[in-house]
Structure 1
């Protein structure tokens, strides 16, 4: 399932003898904004980021919320619901041994209340936190459902951002993560193309793809990702001058080592019928170059290697540390 909005790779004009093939590559990334920091990454994810947090985050009812007990529990439940929408599998329950958890609290500042959110490690150390904008004390004390729901929905993306930084910091410290080494990619080749497309597209992609961040290897064993191009041709409209047309679609599938789809780059257009039944020539080079950039982006987005690490807490108590953020 795709969890993020598609982003367009710039269009390229591709020339093949007289016909013109305009291919727009559409990037459908598995985790564009967030590689689900508390989701189970599977065997390959655990291998690439050995310190990834466990796939659950406890959210206990806060004892220091400046709310009645029932409202405190309601706040925790709203936080859980909002975090789940951010792809963080949070659970409203007391802290369990070995779990990461979210410490909720609130403090008075004059006539206003400041809600606090602190990410806690299984050992009880504060790892990152965020302070919400002030709320009038009278409004907060009422504990109304809509107020707590709004607070939770506004806080969840900020908490998710903190979690992203935590995972990035863990990856930075792990020499086997993709922040510290290039991704190893097994390219399975191209299938389904007419003419010499399977061969020329594959050769062009293999030549265009390797860079400082991603390398191609010849065997599937030990690869971090697998890439395969699939070409589909279907009969299209007659064309503006009555000449037959075909619809061409090239999908570059990018899979994790465990077989989960990390994303797919799709190139498509209508072409004069059978114009690619022979040599693809420059069409293959342009299409493969465009696809290589899209696959690089898929791997970057899915792995989270471009995310900025969260700095260490400076205060040690989670309330005044260097990783804090105050919104007002």
Structure 2
């Protein structure tokens, strides 16, 4: 049976006394302060990225520099140390574009997570355009850092038996429908809260047992206000919907047209607890076949 959880958003009509737990928008760097990285990440020149040797070395160096800027102990090296984790770059040709993927593996070569970068024009990629490779590194550095932190957090939160099987993986689909910066803010905050609860939160479906997506709807409310509804939808690998976290409230009209700030923080914190509860309850219940009763 689908579980429905109701949670109220922070009241937005007040002008003062609103909690501001992330004033200054610390973003991903806040995780670095909370979870010291315990591994070095080696970035070898990628042999399977459809790049010439010189371009592969340049990409390795740019990625290592971008990760170092995020306080990740990373090194561009063709000879990783025995206990190094590795950042691998894979690339798939798709006609006029190339789709790069950044894959983290542990020291034993087991994949721990991956992020997809923006597609690159095939000609620029084949020529090893330095500006294109540098842009890929600048885009990938923060995302790989977030993934690495979530992997480490998940491994620390699991039991020795669970570590053998690997950390629990969850695919987070970007939020849709929110005005202003709400889609990105809600997605990023939920990723942080779920990572801190022991999940590896990834963009790709591969290896994930559960997925979360969210839909935001804004409609006219009482005079001078808008009704905001957020539905966080939790499903499992076979497509069966496990439950929803529903958050709704009336807010001052136009107050979310630009920045969500503390509202995204509070909504995602509440939603993360609901998502974890839904998955925990579903894991303890008999598994229904796909298409079965909900």
State the TM bucket, normalised to the shorter chain. 0.3 to 0.5
Normalized per residue, the structure richer in helix is 2
* Greater C-alpha radius of gyration: 1
Highest RCO, 1 vs 2 (Cα 8 Å, sep ≥ 6): 1
TM-score between both structures, scaled by the size of structure 2 = 0.46
